[in-house]
Structure 1
């Protein structure tokens, strides 16, 4: 995504925000006819060191541990033809050393290799073999823990951030954000409600029996996966409804109700707060790409700069899948990954059509300080997040058990943007590349009177 760059690689700014006005979006698209902070955490091996760095958290590992093994990154320079196929071939070739080692070594089990980030997940019995031996394998660049990722902490209730009420226009009721974004007007003007486009929601699962939801694809990435859709928390059902729920309740809830909806359960440990693992998130992104999703939306993240997701976002874009992610609910000066990856579409939350919610995350990111050598050379010296702001306060949507409820957070803003991307794609016969879809979103930016100069609100019409 072409975020607002700062520093020479452009100076300090508050994050750009864009509130969705949909007709301008689609007119631009189809025309009138139509991990760890790079400065800390994971160590870096020197050029002379034959052993790749091992996560300090594994220093005292005892017994069997589950690790993520990273391999040499793919260099797209000079690649002709199918870049995704080339990335897959590169992953197969570079991960072969671990595959051979696991086959020949007791105590090492290769669980899964991922081309999306060129990493593999393995279990290692440290009483029978050493992590140093794994780190010394050909092409290995790091060995680290399979870290947890969680849904964003829900923002505290704030009466000053009261969201839009459900409204009635010409006899039809529209949920909170839809009217603010002028979605009904877009539906009529462009005669689309998302048909022909595909959105993959990665979250806590979904209640596929809800009368306002039609789930077209399901995958459970839990340790004991369910063949049938299930929601381990309720978070995923609410997020999914914002993308594409119908109006069975008498109120139109989803931005793109005719979109093909996929749901991958990746945040499935929900005893207290829903968490997942890096490996399940990567598996979910790969699945979304294999299912030809136009957009994948994620309302969770790591409260840090997570280098391991840089490749995943970049590779998803190369495969034609837009990555949308909630920026987090920590307020000014914060962000979460993968939203803070330069190539994703980071989404903040608006409280009204002209005001950003106080809890909505946003910051200027110094590329070298945050990402170090992990950042691709094409990234600017600094940039601001989020890219876009969408309704995120008092959002009514679907809940498990055929119920409905109202929630707030950037988790609720991100699916508004994912649904909007689906509408843009649906309104044209051409398959738009991620960069083209992002450019349409950027082209709708407007400056509200009471927000900083850098605040641009994205409208849907």
Structure 2
């Protein structure tokens, strides 16, 4: 009986819908019964897309069309006549979120969606889908120890939200250039064959100077004075195992913790042993990990899309290290490095100060700069590294480790702090990004997206710490649509347009068409209150490190000038860094 009534309502709705109706996506219709929110896409170039008054007239007409079909089924307290549909906000890509004034059942929600779609300038209507925390993996350490740095709290990297959006790192290979990896039960299934590049028996704790396949960590322990006069004895750190676990620990197996890109695979590359590691070995490892050829070593059968280097020293970037990085980047590999833990300017540290790398600073539980983290203009963005001041567990980053004092012992989970721990957060997110991107992102595009999507620090940083705090959910969402046809709001050169109010963090994309023979583009925003920034891209959605012009002054008044512009389409990204209202945009193409 219910099925028959539903089928009849579908037939009636179809019969009433005009032939030009926009598409209706009913796949998340149940969510509309909890919150009657819908995402409406208006056709490019229409008034409804850019003018709030025209959009509201269209929504009012849709509500009027729906009322006779809803009738007494609407809330008796409000009545059919009270049903209204209002715009909540615009979204990235030129869509609009709208909401009905009262709750609806499935049939009512569908009727309203079809009424909205019947408006002539509507391209599509879909439910504003709800995501649920129930999708979280069942690994016990995730809920007890890792949520502060994976979750949505003040210092969290919003990894859980990226998981909820379907990103898991499937198909992506990551190389971890470090101490190697142990045979940890909650990590080994996600390891690919690696290599031990240490070419010194003293450093490696092996019998010979020969490099060997495997990349297994057999310990980096040292006795007193072995690493210099007065140097104390030290136990094995199992550092590479901890870093690798943050990236790709086996997940949703009801054991241990979770890895950020838990369906990605890690190639462990051993370069650090007793007393550290040689630059020459590290440089060879960078090239090999990216798929380049290194004499005397079989080529890597699993070239990495992203390399993690949680290592460094207090010196300038040397030319051979820069050359190795350039080779890796030229092969399409993203190189992510730790800023260092000396509470000093990053400019004097390598590889953190090298070009063509993503350099990562560290933050703590509240999003504050960790006191040890290096700082300065060379930091690209920050990620959770643990401040050590919030106690256990919130002062630390939790991942796979080993309890052996010298050689490998038993598998454990343990907490570490450092920019070494912040770096694999970024690397894991890069793997998530690449796994959802329509086509592989270039290293420059990855860096730009990471910085463009970093969220504002929740607290003031004690020193410069990059573009913001890693936001996995935002980075994955931008990666998912990057390179696809760009949908922007049209502009009318020579005519000022009132920009809609924007909340801090909102972003809108505007289209500027430039005919042949033009000599100059002038773009200004002015008036109103708040603060915004502008980025301009030619035939692309602009990024901080890939753009045709930018303006990032305090306040609303921004300006970009392009001389001798190319014929074609420019895209202007307007981002609110504070709540903004009443601003105007004027574009001149001469």
1:355 pairs, out of 368, 371, 386, with 368
Partner of 1:154: none
How big is the shift at 1:227? Answer: 3.9
Given that 2:338 and 2:420 are in contact with CA atoms closer than 8 Å, whether structure 1 keeps it comes out as yes
2:306 pairs, out of 280, 292, 295, with 295
CA distance in 1, matches of 2:338, 2:168: 23
1:239 pairs, out of 243, 263, 282, with 243
Partner of 2:416: 407
How big is the shift at 1:387? Answer: 0.8
Given that 2:159 and 2:471 are in contact with CA atoms closer than 8 Å, whether structure 1 keeps it comes out as no
Q: Render the CA deviation track for 1:162-203: whole Å, top value 9, x for unaligned.
A: xxxxx99978452242121121221121x2210111110000
Partner of 1:256: 261
Relative contact order (alpha carbons < 8 A, sep ≥ 6): 1 or 2 greater? 1
How big is the shift at 1:209? Answer: 4.1
Partner of 1:178: 150
Given that 1:302 and 1:336 are in contact with CA atoms closer than 8 Å, whether structure 2 keeps it comes out as yes
TM-score between the two structures when normalised by the length of structure 1:
0.55
**Secondary structure at the counterpart of residue 255 of structure 1:** coil
CA distance in 2, matches of 1:443, 1:170: 26
2:378 pairs, out of 374, 378, 385, with 385
1:315 has 2:327 as partner: yes
Partner of 1:283: 284
CA distance in 1, matches of 2:349, 2:196: 24
CA distance in 2, matches of 1:169, 1:396: 21
Q: Do the aligned partners of residues 28 and 432 (structure 1) sit closer, same or farther apart at CA in structure 2, a change above 3 Å counting?
A: farther
State the 4+ residue runs in structure 1 displaced beyond 6 angstroms: 167-171
Partner of 1:343: 356
Query: Equivalences for 1:81-120 in 2 at 5 Å?
Result: none
CA distance in 1, matches of 2:384, 2:349: 19
Q: Do the aligned partners of residues 405 and 428 (structure 1) sit closer, same or farther apart at CA in structure 2, a change above 3 Å counting?
A: same
Q: Render the CA deviation track for 1:337-394: whole Å, top value 9, x for unaligned.
A: 111113211111111252111110013xxxxxxxxxxxxxxxxxxxx12111111110
2:195 pairs, out of 205, 219, 238, with 219
Partner of 2:580: none
Structure 2, unpaired ranges of 5+? 1-90, 97-132, 200-207, 220-235, 292-301, 387-395, 403-409, 474-590
CA distance in 1, matches of 2:458, 2:194: 43
Q: Do the aligned partners of residues 279 and 444 (structure 1) sit closer, same or farther apart at CA in structure 2, a change above 3 Å counting?
A: same
Partner of 1:4: none
Larger Rg: 2
Q: Render the CA deviation track for 1:123-182: whole Å, top value 9, x for unaligned.
A: xxxxxxxxxxxxxxxxxxxxxxxxxxxxxxxxxxxxxxxxxxxx9997845224212112
Given that 1:28 and 1:440 are in contact with CA atoms closer than 8 Å, whether structure 2 keeps it comes out as no
CA distance in 2, matches of 1:327, 1:398: 22
Given that 2:186 and 2:256 are in contact with CA atoms closer than 8 Å, whether structure 1 keeps it comes out as no
1:325 pairs, out of 332, 337, 352, with 337
Partner of 1:116: none
CA distance in 2, matches of 1:459, 1:340: 23
CA distance in 2, matches of 1:296, 1:184: 22
Q: How many residues align?
A: 275
CA distance in 1, matches of 2:137, 2:197: 42
2:216 pairs, out of 221, 225, 230, with 230
How big is the shift at 1:226? Answer: 4.5
CA distance in 2, matches of 1:215, 1:28: 37
Given that 2:260 and 2:425 are in contact with CA atoms closer than 8 Å, whether structure 1 keeps it comes out as yes
1:203 pairs, out of 171, 178, 189, with 178
CA distance in 1, matches of 2:136, 2:169: 22
Larger CA deviation: 415-424 vs 208-217 = 208-217
Given that 2:336 and 2:359 are in contact with CA atoms closer than 8 Å, whether structure 1 keeps it comes out as yes
**Secondary structure at the counterpart of residue 353 of structure 2:** coil
Given that 1:178 and 1:253 are in contact with CA atoms closer than 8 Å, whether structure 2 keeps it comes out as no
